[in-house]
Amino acid sequence: MVVGDFPVEVDTLVVGAGPGGYVAAIRAAQLGQKVTIVDKSDLGGTCLNVGCIPSKALIEAGHKAQAAGGDEDLGITTEKVNIDFDKVQDWKSSVVNRLTTGVESLLKGNKVDIVKGEVYFVDDTQVKIMDEKQSQTYKYKDCIIATGSSPIEIPSFPFSERVLDSTGGLALKEIPESIVVIGGGYIGVELGSAYANLGSQVTILEGEKEILGTFEKSMTSVVKKRLKKNGVSIITSAMAKGVEEREDGVTVTYEADGNEETVDADYVLVTVGRKPNTEEIGLDQVGIEVDDKGLIKVDEQSRTNVKNIYAIGDIVAGLPLAHKASYEGKVAAEAISGKKTAVDYLGMPSVVFSDPEMASVGYTEAEAKEANIEVKAAKFPFAANGRALSLNDTEGSLKLITRKEDGLVIGGQIVGANASDMIAEVGLAIEAGMTAEDVALTVHAHPTLGEITMEAADVALGTPIHTM
């Protein structure tokens, strides 16, 4: 690397090496661009290091612990399940390390230059990249900003050894006997479910009337039922007021139904949302427009108001989803290369790894109504599926949303076992312009959970076989 006052020249500079940034860098390199990617932290960003991947590993450990306890309905019981949490954390870290090492190999294999440091924009063609030793100027033709987001800190709940953000919640050295989760969104419910399955007494405090408020109530009611079955206390319309920390735990004060209450726990986990990492990188130096939430304004190609600078992922409007960031990264890289490409979010799935899982893609009934689209909602229950019965996991259903005039699949919502995997077929149907008849005529192996999608399509056609 050239040092000193001479700028390093690149075609495309990618700022941030999370699932949006590294995918954008690889795609840009595949299209013949000379690419440099820079991040002040580890490759893979929040998702691979302290988010999606480690949380799913912890969730899976919880499922394994639950399964090890046996199932009385199946005649299998276990007196005691032993959990070595140090080994759980070691395994979780090994999963993370394998993936981050893989990202580095992929970047190098595509001849992407990797730089570690903090970025500050000088103008619309130059940045300063700073590490502990030096500052180096980089000159770029195009730039993709993918700096991600950070947990929101509540002033009355400053992060500490006992007041944790999601990162801290994933790094505990022991399974807490009890934990309070502030925020009943997807992060709070996922981590709360994981620790409940590992044996913790979990209390969820949610300010709104329902947990997981972005999903339909018919879906969240199934998750709430399972949470309560696992001993989780869910308190909605609750306002967290403050926390008193002790050497061995915390006392959380909250207000509900006009009364002030307290709950004691080993830890409190704050999961009230995330904020975009758009401050202190010099966006004002370039004149890049942001909204009042700090989100960067972009067009359908992820281009900002500065024509050679793009922004993707958690720093632009939309849900903070890793796969959304990756998708936008590809679009931005292709737009830089002059390809006719644009984002289309209709087929963008949203998944919660709750217990059971929830997933949604395309239109819901309510959204279709708002868009003045006449639809048919066809529902099929897991309880009528042979594979779900053999798994002894029959709670939930799949709802297929089709356009009334021609049966075109435009949405789907699933709550139940393996919903995160099943939603892909509905997303493919939307992307490919398939109708309910197309789905129904696709032969699905038996017995599988995938048959539920086919059965819902039969319901949409008015020819159900395994339900009335």
- The model's confidence at residue 133, banded by pLDDT at 50, 70 and 90, is confident
Mean pLDDT of 338-348: 97
The domain ranges of the chain are 8-150+275-336, 163-272, 356-461
Tell me which architecture the domain covering 8-150+275-336 has in CATH.
3-Layer(bba) Sandwich (3.50)
- State the pLDDT at residue 41: 95
- State the pLDDT at residue 258: 94
Quick check: 33 pLDDT over 70? yes
Quick check: 3 pLDDT over 60? no
**Per-residue pLDDT tens over the stretch 159-209:** 999 999 999 999 999 999 999 999 999 999 999 999 999 999 999 999 999
**Per-residue pLDDT tens over the stretch 417-431:** 999 999 999 999 999
- State the pLDDT at residue 4: 53
446 is catalytic: yes
Quick check: 372 pLDDT over 90? yes
Q: Above pLDDT 70, what percent of the chain? A: 99
- State the pLDDT at residue 70: 94
Quick check: 403 pLDDT over 90? yes
- State the pLDDT at residue 1: 47
**Per-residue pLDDT tens over the stretch 291-342:** 999 999 999 999 999 999 999 999 999 999 999 999 999 999 999 999 999 9
- The model's confidence at residue 468, banded by pLDDT at 50, 70 and 90, is confident
| Domain 163-272 annotated CATH 3.50.50.60 | yes
287: nearest Cα among 308, 301, 302: 308
Rounded to two decimals, the pTM is 0.95
**Per-residue pLDDT tens over the stretch 215-252:** 999 999 999 999 999 999 999 999 999 999 999 999 99
- State the pLDDT at residue 221: 97
Mean pLDDT of 403-413: 98
- State the pLDDT at residue 76: 95
- The model's confidence at residue 5, banded by pLDDT at 50, 70 and 90, is low
**Per-residue pLDDT tens over the stretch 430-467:** 999 999 999 999 999 999 999 999 999 999 999 999 99
Quick check: 47 pLDDT over 90? yes
Q: Answer yes or no: same fold for 8-150+275-336 and 163-272.
A: yes
- State the pLDDT at residue 107: 98
Residue from 63, 323, 444, 446 carrying the catalytic annotation = 446
- State the pLDDT at residue 426: 98
Mean per-residue pLDDT over the chain, rounded:
97
- The model's confidence at residue 132, banded by pLDDT at 50, 70 and 90, is confident
Exposure of 251 in the CB half-sphere (CA atoms within 13 A): 5
Fold classification of 356-461 is: Enolase-like; domain 1 (3.30.390)
